[in-house]
Chains A and B, each alone.
Chain A
Amino acid sequence: MATVDERSRRWLDRQSVPSLEWLRLVLGLVVPTILVVVWHLLVVTGVFSTHQLPEPLTVATTLYGMAATGELWGHVFITLQRVALGVLFGVTVGIVFGTATGLFSLVSDLFDPLFQSMKNIPSLAWVPLFLLWFGIGEGAKVALIALGAFFPVYLNLSTGIRNVDDELREVVEVYDVGWPTALRNVVFPAALPSLLVGIRGGVGLAWMFVVAAELIAASQGIGFLLSDGRTLSRPDIIIGSILLFAFFGNLSDLGVKAIQRRVVYW
């Protein structure tokens, strides 16, 4: 019994998936491509000197060279590992506190003001303290990234749980749904979209925090490459590192988005 809406939606889906989606993807590449061409022209015509801004091709060659010698992979791997561990811890703690504060107003009254006031502290401000506490080892960096990933998860999940639709709460009340069932079947699913929005934000912040950590206290990692490029006056390495961050940042965001679509299936 398909309604008109359903039928037209299915029709649209069939039509738009191959052609329109591809067209939009290609359109999105137009401006970046122009920028690269303009960049190339500006350097070749001497508007920028090559030790400030290298040619696009130089950047590519540098990255390729580092990849070929294997030097690049160590940096990439350690950065990915830090982000992954930081996200894992940050999201876990965020889920614990988000759930507790969302469900119990007493816990919320105790912790929420603290977290709310902490969330606006810039990432760089934490670095010296974390170095002092955790030393310059991996612990300090992972802890810093976890802190970054924690806040969006905590904030979104907490409000997501607290803002479960009143209408659904009344259904739970009228039909005497028990606590465990209500949590599992109503409250948590209702808060799931918020949780995923939080995780997306958390992964984004994890990338910001890993740069902060690696710029200041690392001997390996993409962030270290970045600062090393400045020390060595190698703009190609700096720009290459930025592009690496862009690539992996986008990749992780696409990954979380794909999970989001699967988990929030309704």
Chain B
Amino acid sequence: MLDVQNLTKRYDDTIALTDVDFTAAPGEFVAVVGPSGCGKSTLLRVLAGLEPDFDGRVTVNDTPVDDGGSADVGVVFQDPRLLPWATVRENVRLAAPDDASDAEIDDLLERVGLEGFETALPGELSGGMAQRVALARGLAYEPEALLLDEPFSALDALTKVEQQAFLLEVWHSVEATVVLVTHDVEEAAYLADRVVVLGSQPGTVVDRIDVDVERPRERTDERLLDVRERITTALGL
């Protein structure tokens, strides 16, 4: 369970986030949408324990993130951030428990569609494949909550649809809480149980929308279109 209360985050003169309240229940899929520069990445960084200075209370399973709470949180960054000298398998192993076997890691790689690339180097992969390695690494960590920072923004439309389907599949199988940051309104509505809309300058929550649509969903479902409509309005577009 992720809980953010009254979060304000400043970088020197820039106020990245003000008074953000945000929760994600265990197993929930929450999308965070907002224009670029509104503090989406900053929110994830705070949750992941990468930002030591902030005001407010941020807890994971009731433990503050600045007090070890972020240990159960995995992050898939906006760029893959793989070790260029390590094979795909070794990159994933970095986040896995010490006793993880090759077979377990390869199994994970198969799930992200990278069968046969276990011993490839990141330099030999396409951008989308590298991003999937990063996703497999996040899953190998077996986190309570997986935070994803615009993981699909660099992909072409077709690959994106494929990866979204894959993410849903993984989410069902590992039963982790997922927080997906995106600036793609359609993606947010289609994937999430709940959408949190951030506005900019300074970044703060402008709307929270429950997506009460059973799964599997049709992308063209009327109710999803309504959700998209509401997100767009909240964004002031």
Given the known interface contacts A167-B81, A168-B81, the answer about A174 and B129 at a Cβ–Cβ threshold of 8 Å is no
Is B235 interfacial (CB-CB < 8 Å)? no
> Would you list 28 pairs from A and B whose C-beta atoms are within 8 A, ordered by A residue?
A3-B126, A6-B124, A167-B77, A167-B79, A167-B81, A168-B81, A168-B83, A170-B50, A170-B81, A171-B81, A173-B49, A174-B48, A174-B50, A174-B73, A175-B74, A175-B94, A175-B137, A175-B141, A176-B71, A177-B94, A177-B95, A181-B94, A185-B90, A186-B94, A189-B86, A192-B85, A266-B84, A266-B123
Instruction: Point out the residues of chain B lying under 8 angstroms from A186, CB to CB.
Output: 83, 94
Q: Give complex CA distance A163, B48 in Å.
A: 23
Taking A170-B77, A171-B81, A189-B83 as known contacts, 8 extra A-B pairs with beta carbons closer than 8 A to each other, sorted by chain A number, are A3-B126, A6-B124, A167-B81, A171-B77, A176-B71, A185-B86, A185-B94, A192-B85
What is the interface of chain A mostly: helix, strand, loop, or mixed? helix
Q: Would you list which residues of chain A between 154 and 172 have a CB under 8 Å from chain B?
A: 167-168, 170-171
Q: Is A265 an interface residue when CB atoms closer than 8 A count as contact?
A: yes
* Count of chain B residues near A, Cβ 8 A: 26
Size bracket of the A interface: 10 to 19
Nearest CB on B from A261, distance (A)? 14
Within 8 A of A (CB), among B9-53: 48-50
Identify the B interface with A (CB < 8 A). Answer: 48-50, 70-71, 73-75, 77, 79, 81, 83-86, 90, 94-95, 121-124, 126, 129, 137, 141
Kindly list chain B residues whose C-beta atoms are within 8 Å of the C-beta of A176. 71
User: Is A1 in contact with chain B by the CB < 8 A criterion?
Assistant: yes
* A182 vs chain B, min Cβ distance (A): 9
The answer to whether A1 touches B141, judged by C-beta atoms less than 8 angstroms apart, is no
Contact residue among A170, A173, A174, A185 (Cβ-Cβ distance under 8 Å from B83)? A185
Determine the chain B residues whose CB is within 8 A of the CB of A171 once the complex forms. 77, 81, 94
Q: Are A174 and B126 in contact (CB under 8 A)?
A: no
| Residues on A with beta carbons closer than 8 Å to the beta carbon of B124 | 6
Query: What is the CA–CA distance of A189 and B121 in the complex, to the nearest angstrom?
Result: 14
**CB <8 Å contact, B85 and A265:** yes
A181 to B96, CA, bound (A): 12
In the bound complex, what is the Cα–Cα distance between A175 and B85 (angstroms)? Answer: 18
Residues from 46 to 98 in A contacting B, C-beta threshold 8 Å: none
Residues A266 and B81 in contact, CB atoms below 8 Å apart: no
Residues 1-17 of A at the B interface (beta carbon under 8 Å): 1, 3, 6
Question: Could you tell me the distance between the alpha carbons of A175 and B122 in the complex, rounded to whole angstroms?
Answer: 19
**B127 to chain A: closest residue by CB:** A3
Q: In chain B, what residue has the closest Cβ to A176?
A: B71
Rounded to whole Å, the gap between the CB of A181 and the closest CB of chain B is 7
For the complex, give the distance between the alpha carbons of A177 and B126 in Å: 26
